[in-house]
Structure 1
Amino acid sequence: MAETRVGLVGAGYIASWHADALRATRSVELSAVCDPSASAAQGFADAYGVQSFTDLDEMLAAGAVDAVHILTPPQLHHPLAMKCINAGLHVLVEKPVALNADETREIAEAAKARGVQFTAGHNFLGLPSYQRLKTALAEGRLGRISTAEITWAFPFAPLRAGPFGIWPLRESRNLLLELGPHLYAFLIDLFGPAEILHVETGKEIALPGGGTRPQSWRIIARAGGVDVTLTLSLVETHDDRSVLLRGSSGMARLDYANDTLVIARPNASDLVLNPLRAELAQSWAHLREGARNAARQLASLNQKSPYGLSFRGLCAETYGAIRTGRAPDARFSGDSAVKVMAAIDATLARLRPDPDLPRPKGRPKPDVMVIGGTGFIGRALTRALVARGHDVRVLSRGTSGPFDDIANHVETVSASLYDEDALRDAMRGITHVYNLAKSLDTTWEAALENDVGVSLRIARAARDAGVKRLIYTGTIASYDMSDPHQTITEETGFGPLEARNIYARSKAESERQLMDMHGAGIEIVIARPGIVVGHGGPLQHWGIGRWHGAGAVRIWGHGRNILPFVLIDDCAEALVRMIEVEEAAGQSFNLVGEPMLSARGYFEAIHRALGARIRVSPGPLWVFCAADAVKYQLKTRILRRKGLTRASFKDWKSRAHFSPFDNSRPKAVLGWRPETDRARFVEQAITRANLMGF
């Protein structure tokens, strides 16, 4: 039988998970990708060796696919699914399948009428452990189920650190539409149609620009005679994504984030041995599940992670049904998708609508542009510029930003960073441009295009548009910070970069080429922020260590050396001064605050200020380096990945920030005065920073 050719509509983060699962699916060929961003589509196409399109009609007209996975923002799911179904294609639609049950029902009915398959992307139902849970239920091992708890307790970082313009944050209801299908899919598949009895939200968080969003949801439902509690908790919390079933003969806990299933059943021992046997049984079950996962991931070189397995299960069932001509499994059927969305509709009907917020009247007259203005530093900089009397044009991927309260001074526009003409047009009338954009690439060739190339394109567009000064944010990570006896100033060279991590190397190369342009029609200033902390920043800051959830971190090195922290407000103040001080032109500035805290001191301060004891482990840098070397060999020799580089041991030592910084230049040239009082620093960096989200 011929292979089913599959195209992906949308080349964002989730696309790679679908692509890898499709590659592992029998009788399937990943053949095309479509995304309105030419760079995103081409980058994905190059990585997977498929055709790229920027227009869905062109992909359909080319006859390149037999089925599509729709991976776009949710508001586009319904119209795109209908177009593909009408073209005679099978469709798999990411969750939420649509914005309501009516749209979902229309998709399902159109697919049935056209004779094609419609699959809902409820991927966690494809996990092996979930199949084992259903088998246990069918065999009666849990007895009659009385209550169930379905939980998603996992931090949703954009609520605290942005980006705030993304679809899930535009309305409170979008949060449930984005994450709720995971929970409701379990509910519907296990127990059938649900009656929603009660909805309660809490832990409201204020968004920049106005408005609040709930970070906790508690939903009481009843389905198939079972009392069900659904919980969403999006603050910084211990990861608990689970399904807990209590029955007359036993209790089961499915950890769907880790693909483990533990079943507790009563034993017939006497009073003394009963608890011992019960605990030993639980211990054995946990050991068995952990060993099974570890062995599977080791044997597959982590290609079969729990999350990856969930997509493999989804794709295997979807294309198995297409290959054999049978109806799709009920887990992923259109009927199931309609029931899931109906339950979400019933929940949202009980949700208090977001209030309409007043917007300031007046039209901005921007003289400054901030590229990346919706990010952590960009938001603070934009507000600092407005406070200083500037109107700001924010260049962002979307056309909305977290500035509704100052909308008379800020406008948000969208232009591709790969379109020099569009960039130049967006900069007309602008006197100063801040480039805060960054790209996280895995190969040097990609970094040259997506980081260095974009930086130069922005600079050329600014020069040709008559911009006076461009401020570019590099990174202190470009320095070799491995020597505790070397004090770093702006005169310190970066040293050899070939064996450095790609981000540090590409930022340094961008700086070098930009400074070659200084004085040739445009002024260039380089800013290198340190470890930026404060309100709006993340708890899980990877400049400090490698995080394992909100409660554990493995710090880079021993963690006793002072780190180059800088408060977000101090950083923004220095950036503003870079367009106010004429002498700043052609110079670089390391924006590092006064010596304050080590990594260990930082986490001790969190404990004292917030009462949260984060588990801190020292990270021997030679262990990190050795593990990285092994991964590099496996990726290049076994998985045959091309273009990868490996950082040196000195680069790993650099991540610990052993070298101290001298911040004399920004203080002397810019008149910058970063915070000097330790108590006030801790208050702004930790106490008032809302690190936990509540």
Structure 2
Amino acid sequence: MTLRTAVVGGGTVSEVHLSGLSKNPRTELVAICDLDEEIATAKADAYGIAAYTDLDELLAAEDLDWAHVCTPVQSHLPVAKTIIDAGVPIQIEKPITETYEEFEELAAYAADAGVTVSEKHNHNFDPVVRRARRRMESGECGTIKGVEVIYTGCSNPDDPNRGPWNFELAGGEFEEGLPHPLYMTLRAGGYPRSEDDVRATTSLLGEYEYDFTYDGAMIQYVSDDDVLCRTTMLGGTRPVRQLLVHGSEMSLTADLISQTLVEHDRDYKASGAARALNNVDNALDRVAGTVQNFRAVLKRRNSDDWDTERLLNAHYYQNHAESIALEAGDPSRMPVPLSESRWMIRLMAEIRAAAAADGPAAPIDAEAIAGDPE
């Protein structure tokens, strides 16, 4: 069985969806839909698929098993509801909705219809993040005490990377990128044990033509497992993007830019020699990771094998896992549960509230989270 799949929205991010779906042996890419006929036609011609400018026409003409939504975030809710009405499972680009209230409406609508909805959380499936998760799950790190995500070098609010629709968001283009570090923190550190444990701080250092409210943010909370979690996000700096895991037996630094994993398993305070060896350990881990990545890139260049590509491309990896779950008809196997998306959009709401300085966001529905399939 192959899943007949369409992409809705032909903007910048659609390309990684189109390319991955065209290569995945479990999916058959059949159509693209965009309001701009030229964009829809160009994408359709490139992939040998049908072009549509009307979503209702697409859903009526194509017998779809899956749809990927890559439209501006302001349209995610109405577009998703239209697809849900057709009974088609959906993957939605991040942020899944513009507001927390919209997310709750979407989640309830999908649950009532019995339709599977997921969100793109690609960095959770980066090769180096998967390696770090394996170390954590194996118990090598011991008790996890803290998780930090540093995600700097983000776009400034007024960067026109994805189009002028981003300028309508409180944090502009900067806000559009916040889901990445937030969902990484949630996956590695766990969900907040309560909404009262979430603290958000924002800054506005730049001067912009539009009325943005923040271009930097930090959020922290304590998880259900008593893990102290913190996320730092800054626009307009040199990029540093790392997942830091602090364990009782071993700590980890997963560098998303170099895709290298450094294991901190030596007590460098023991002696001067231990400090020197600690530096050697770190350097060797970096070199070993670089060599491993170089070999992987060479292998990908010399092979168009799907398994090779999906293991190196986080977007493809998530799509592959989701296609398996959809084929099996088992929503519980979806790699990104809606509970993760719910907390992600909640954390974004806390950041916006801190930036606006108008009090806390609306209360979260704890019972709804508890009822989400994992």
The TM-score bracket by the shorter chain reads 0.7 to 0.9
Query: Which residue does 1:231 correspond to in 2?
Result: 232
Shift of 1:176: 6.2
Query: Which residue does 2:132 correspond to in 1?
Result: 133
The one-letter amino acid paired with 1:83 is T
Higher helix share: 2
- Distance change >3 Å, CA 265–CA 242, structure 1 → 2: same
Shift of 1:270: 6.9
Cα separation, 2, equivalents of 1:267 and 1:324: 47
The one-letter amino acid paired with 1:341 is I
Cα separation, 2, equivalents of 1:175 and 1:7: 26
**Contact 1:154–1:239 at 8 Å: present in 2 too?**
yes
TM alignment of 1:590-629, pairs within 5 A: none
Cα separation, 1, equivalents of 2:333 and 2:72: 25
Cα separation, 2, equivalents of 1:87 and 1:234: 39
Cα separation, 2, equivalents of 1:277 and 1:327: 47
Cα separation, 2, equivalents of 1:348 and 1:30: 37
Identity of aligned residues (%): 23
Shift of 1:215: 2.3
Shift of 1:170: 2.3
The one-letter amino acid paired with 2:178 is G
- Distance change >3 Å, CA 88–CA 263, structure 1 → 2: same
Cα separation, 2, equivalents of 1:253 and 1:310: 19
TM alignment of 1:460-609, pairs within 5 A: none
The one-letter amino acid paired with 1:59 is L
TM alignment of 1:116-515, pairs within 5 A: 116-156=115-155, 159=158, 162=160, 166-175=164-173, 177-194=175-192, 195=195, 197-208=198-209, 211-224=211-224, 225-235=226-236, 237-266=237-266, 271-301=271-301, 309-329=313-333, 331-352=335-356
**Contact 1:119–1:333 at 8 Å: present in 2 too?**
yes
Shift of 1:29: 0.8
- Distance change >3 Å, CA 165–CA 326, structure 1 → 2: closer
Query: Which residue does 2:7 correspond to in 1?
Result: 8
Shift of 1:121: 0.8
TM-score, normalized by length of structure 1? 0.47
The one-letter amino acid paired with 2:315 is F
Cα separation, 2, equivalents of 1:173 and 1:341: 14
Aligned pair 1:79/2:78, yes or no?
Answer: yes
Match of 1:95, SS state, is coil
Cα separation, 2, equivalents of 1:48 and 1:272: 60
Aligned pair 1:105/2:109, yes or no?
Answer: no
Shift of 1:269: 11
Match of 2:90, SS state, is strand
The one-letter amino acid paired with 1:322 is L
Encode CA deviations 1:339-362: one digit per residue, 9 max, x unaligned: 2212222332322269xxxxxxxx
**Contact 2:147–2:245 at 8 Å: present in 1 too?**
yes
- Distance change >3 Å, CA 213–CA 112, structure 1 → 2: closer
Match of 1:172, SS state, is coil
Give the superposed CA RMSD.
2.8
- Distance change >3 Å, CA 280–CA 305, structure 1 → 2: farther
Cα separation, 1, equivalents of 2:334 and 2:132: 16
Q: Which has the larger radius of gyration?
A: 1
Query: Which residue does 1:93 correspond to in 2?
Result: 92
TM-score, normalized by length of structure 2? 0.84
Encode CA deviations 1:86-142: one digit per residue, 9 max, x unaligned: 101010000000122332233333333333321111111122322222221122222
Cα separation, 2, equivalents of 1:15 and 1:163: 13
Instruction: Name stretches of at least 5 consecutive residues in structure 1 with no aligned partner.
Output: 355-694
Cα separation, 1, equivalents of 2:220 and 2:14: 33
Cα separation, 1, equivalents of 2:83 and 2:175: 23
- Distance change >3 Å, CA 126–CA 155, structure 1 → 2: closer
Cα separation, 2, equivalents of 1:306 and 1:282: 28
Higher relative contact order (CA 8 A, sep 6+): 2
**Contact 1:258–1:306 at 8 Å: present in 2 too?**
no
Encode CA deviations 1:497-543: one digit per residue, 9 max, x unaligned: xxxxxxxxxxxxxxxxxxxxxxxxxxxxxxxxxxxxxxxxxxxxxxx
Query: Which residue does 1:502 correspond to in 2?
Result: none
The one-letter amino acid paired with 2:182 is Y
